Structure 1
Amino acid sequence: MLKQIFTLAPLCLALVACSDQPTSSTDSAEQSSTATTVQYSVADGAESRFDIYTDYELNSDLSHLSDNQKRMISLLIDASVIMDDLFWQQAFPRDRDEFLSSVPESAKEFGRINYGPWDRLNGDKPFIAEFSEKPAGANFYPADMTKPEFEAFDNDQKDSLYTLIRRDSNGQLTAVPYSQAYQQQLQKAADLLRQAADLAENQDFANYLRLRADAFLSNEYQPSDLAWMDMTGNDIDVVIGPIENYEDQLFGYKTAFESYVLIKDKAWSERLAKYAQFLPELQRGLPVADKYKAEMPGANAQLNAYDAIYYAGHSNAGSKTIAINLPNDEQVQLEKGTRRLQLKNAMQAKFDKILVPIAEQLIVPGQRGNITFDAFFANTMFHEVAHGLGIKNTINDKGTVRAALKEHASALEEGKADILGLYMITQLFEKGEIETGKLEDYYTTFMASIFRSVRFGASSAHGKANMIRFNYFANAGAFTRNADGQYAINMGKMRQAMNELSEKILTLQGDGDYDGVAELVNSLGVINTQLQADLDRLSDAGIPVDVDFIQGKEVLGL
């Protein structure tokens, strides 16, 4: 049975993807209906994790929006639903509805949150007994494909962000553009974006929507990324399409479909606008040799705060994103910088429901007063800003950092953003540009946030980055743990460790040192026994691991 789940089903989807017929969830259901329906069972011990998410209603005040803007939001949500279905197809090589109807009732909601039978916040362990480990390449590659076979595959589109790898009728590898593999659904999504563009009151936003619609059908996303960077005055935003490559843990090449529908918080956005101008100065001051900071980031990067009103696909799977830094295209970043979007309502939910209770358990009483929402917001924001620092291309002709470091690129990039975000806060605080609270607030909240994030597991890019940072800090004496299992920050040692880890990561990236990064991940990207015991205390105290959104048109009153 396990062999059928992991070889026959992907092969069936592979043949569909390579045909002239568009792939949709309906097609997949028809394909799988010929097979015997399996009734699944919960894996031993898995049911204890089914309550790790706490509900949060994703809402915002829409009273200032016009009727056309509200209709536009409705269309954007409809397009987001399509992204959700496409992500299911990328993440799981079985039909979604068949799977959810076949799992025990107690596991249905957990299956929906995880987009399949693997617990995303527990190292992708299967919570359904009939499934084995999650394929590293998800459903982007044939289940029986080996790395050497891929490396030997002579096709200039094989490492494209927007192709699936499938087998043709002769069993040979072939690259299938997303625009072909998902043609029917992407055509519907494109139509919805064009309808939304006709209702848009901001012409830059309308232009972006139309170019994004074109990208769905052409597989060329850079023009719409550039247009997205040109927007400044729009009250409504949508991040939609194949964007992040975390789901591909085999090579880190393939992007997953997702969507966020957003309402700008103008008051908070005005507070953030001044920080982008400091990026060139902060780049020059990075604690690393000059050759690793020769690329100068633009000072025109946008920092804005939003209320998120809909998540779909990759962004909605497992842990929920609370800040965005896009586009990922290195050429667009060097030409126009990036936009950093802080999702304030989602951030507030995690601070209130998760971070504060964690601090009450794991931070010494004398430092709990240093846990503040302003510090949490700033740490999260500057994490995203810090993606723009450092280097995008190796210094020794190995190509881009992402290409040179392959499957480790995302983990190291997230680690860089974490540590350089704290570096930026330190520099700006001491320049008097950050005036809220004390520097200890940002360091202590940063430490407490590691405990929050590491509960997502050490298998994801963010999880590995968290553990590298935690273990590096531990080895440097940046914190101590008392007999009650409570942690205290040592400001001086933490600052020194911050600078040293920043230098190490920036050097590894600039050198494109794949083996060095692999060694760092293998040695420090793990959860040790003592930390796991402390994390178990949080579960025993009933503190949720993450939030699950109650969302949609009905919640918004549309």
Structure 2
Amino acid sequence: KKMEVLAHNAQWFEDHSPLMPEHKKENVVGVSYKTVVVAGEAGDASPSTPIGVNLPNANWIRAAHGSKSVSLGNIIEAYNNAGSSDRLKEFVNDEEELELAEKYGKLGGKIHTALHEVIGHASGKLNPGVGETKETLKNYASTLEEGRADLVGLYYIMDPKLQELRLTDDYRKLAMAEYDGYIRNGLLTQLVRLELGSNVEEAHMRNRQWVSAWVFEKGKKDNVIEKINRDGKTYYNINDYDKLRTLFGELLRETQRMKSEGDYEAAKALVENYGVKVDQEIHKEVLDRNKAFKSAPYSGFVNPVLVPETDEAGEITAIKVTQPGSFEEQMLYYSEKYGFLPVKN
């Protein structure tokens, strides 16, 4: 309920964004936001699920009729409570970063997700005559769009407007926690999901890396983000959060230009230069440091089984909710029950 205020202020965010004037929507229409509690999921949303859904994908429908964002509230809550605090302590640079993460990390994640879904995907417009992004940017369309929406969230999470809207008691500390976590994840901790020697392939992982790597490189001259090696371990420390926000704004402006103009070559260069290759020494180090923790790099969910109860006439009178004994039991049941389905698109 709290986050719906973002949808009501969508035009304010569009008007105050760092986009080129010609890429801003003059009239943001039909932006809605809801949080739902999910009883169960299937298809490509199970057993590993997204935390939110934003529709439609077609930009012309968005421009004419708006967009809808749905956050999966209990899924976000489960992810927030499933992480290891010991792993966090291993990769933060200092006590201040740890304290910010513990106090503002969960709320920062929720607000960034809401900004990403509600404001991010709904923002900006294509130039006249430019085709749909999936046609112009091709295989880079997905990661560019996810990164663009992330950048909207990163830019606005450090805006006093959030405090004015009563979404936080301290927008700066909230933003600092989210900036710390985003850079830490984009340059270090998400690498636990990859085997040594692999490139980054998944769209969201790519966008977190190219956003983080780009601002790290562009901020080197002013030491905006410092790479620290201590006792053979790598850490990243943000020295200037305001300059980092400015860099996020610059990259947002440029990614929107690529989308608005359909600039395939620029999108390709951004993703390939910053989002695909992995520093093998750091990757090995991260994997070695991660061996101390038991939690898996990906999360899977156990879906409740909804069993109908019927009367003598065959009418459903109640739904009994049962729980599989384990994740393994669930997956074996799916295999046995639904394994006959053909594997084809």
Quick check: TM above 0.5?
A: yes
Q: Find the partner of 1:536 among 264, 274, 287.
A: 287
Corresponding residue for 2:49?
320
Corresponding residue for 2:35?
305
RMSD: 2.5
Letter in 1 for 2:235: Q
2:299 alignment partner, SS class: strand
Letter in 1 for 2:124: G
TM-score, normalization: structure 1? 0.47
Corresponding residue for 2:333?
none
CA distance in 2, matches of 1:445, 1:355: 17
Letter in 2 for 1:360: K
1:557 alignment partner, SS class: strand
CA distance in 1, matches of 2:109, 2:285: 21
Per-residue CA deviations over 1:11-59 (Å, capped at 9, x if unaligned) read xxxxxxxxxxxxxxxxxxxxxxxxxxxxxxxxxxxxxxxxxxxxxxxxx
CA distance in 2, matches of 1:283, 1:322: 24
Per-residue CA deviations over 1:367-416 (Å, capped at 9, x if unaligned) read 1111121111111111112111122x2x2623223321111111100000
Q: Find the partner of 2:123 among 367, 389, 393.
A: 389
Q: CA deviation at 1:430?
A: 6.1
Q: CA deviation at 1:357?
A: 4.2
From the superposition, tell whether residues 463 and 513 of structure 1 become closer, same or farther in structure 2 (CA, over 3 Å).
Answer: same
Corresponding residue for 1:427?
159
Q: Could you tell me whether the CA contact under 8 Å between 2:108 and 2:175 is conserved in 1?
A: yes
1:330-345 equivalence runs, <5 A: 330-345=59-74
Q: Could you tell me whether the CA contact under 8 Å between 1:273 and 1:302 is conserved in 2?
A: yes
Letter in 2 for 1:493: K
TM-score, normalization: structure 2? 0.74
Corresponding residue for 1:281?
12
2:257 alignment partner, SS class: helix
Q: Find the partner of 1:329 among 41, 44, 58.
A: 58
CA distance in 1, matches of 2:9, 2:54: 17
Q: Find the partner of 2:225 among 451, 471, 479.
A: 479
CA distance in 2, matches of 1:438, 1:538: 32
Aligned residues: 285
Corresponding residue for 2:297?
545
Percent same amino acid among aligned pairs? 20
1:493-532 equivalence runs, <5 A: 493-526=243-276, 527-532=278-283
Q: Could you tell me whether the CA contact under 8 Å between 1:429 and 1:435 is conserved in 2?
A: no
1:414 alignment partner, SS class: helix
Q: Find the partner of 1:374 among 97, 107, 110.
A: 107
CA distance in 2, matches of 1:455, 1:418: 21
CA distance in 2, matches of 1:521, 1:273: 32
Structure 1 stretch displaced more, 478-487 or 402-411:
478-487
From the superposition, tell whether residues 376 and 537 of structure 1 become closer, same or farther in structure 2 (CA, over 3 Å).
Answer: farther
From the superposition, tell whether residues 492 and 449 of structure 1 become closer, same or farther in structure 2 (CA, over 3 Å).
Answer: closer
Letter in 2 for 1:312: A
Q: CA deviation at 1:296?
A: 3.5
From the superposition, tell whether residues 313 and 474 of structure 1 become closer, same or farther in structure 2 (CA, over 3 Å).
Answer: same
From the superposition, tell whether residues 550 and 382 of structure 1 become closer, same or farther in structure 2 (CA, over 3 Å).
Answer: same
CA distance in 1, matches of 2:85, 2:68: 29
1:465 paired to 2:207: yes
1:66-81 equivalence runs, <5 A: none
Corresponding residue for 1:354?
83
CA distance in 2, matches of 1:350, 1:486: 24
CA distance in 2, matches of 1:409, 1:349: 29
Per-residue CA deviations over 1:313-365 (Å, capped at 9, x if unaligned) read 22226x53112212223233223322222222222222222274442121122
1:290 paired to 2:21: yes
CA distance in 2, matches of 1:320, 1:357: 24
With a CA cutoff of 8 Å and minimum separation of 6, indicate the structure with the bigger relative contact order. 2
CA distance in 2, matches of 1:547, 1:443: 26
CA distance in 2, matches of 1:380, 1:459: 22
Per-residue CA deviations over 1:68-96 (Å, capped at 9, x if unaligned) read xxxxxxxxxxxxxxxxxxxxxxxxxxxxx
Unaligned runs of 5+ in 2: 195-199, 308-319, 323-345
CA distance in 1, matches of 2:285, 2:87: 10
From the superposition, tell whether residues 284 and 402 of structure 1 become closer, same or farther in structure 2 (CA, over 3 Å).
Answer: farther
From the superposition, tell whether residues 455 and 345 of structure 1 become closer, same or farther in structure 2 (CA, over 3 Å).
Answer: farther
Q: CA deviation at 1:520?
A: 0.9
Unaligned runs of 5+ in 1: 1-268
Q: Which has more radius of gyration?
A: 1
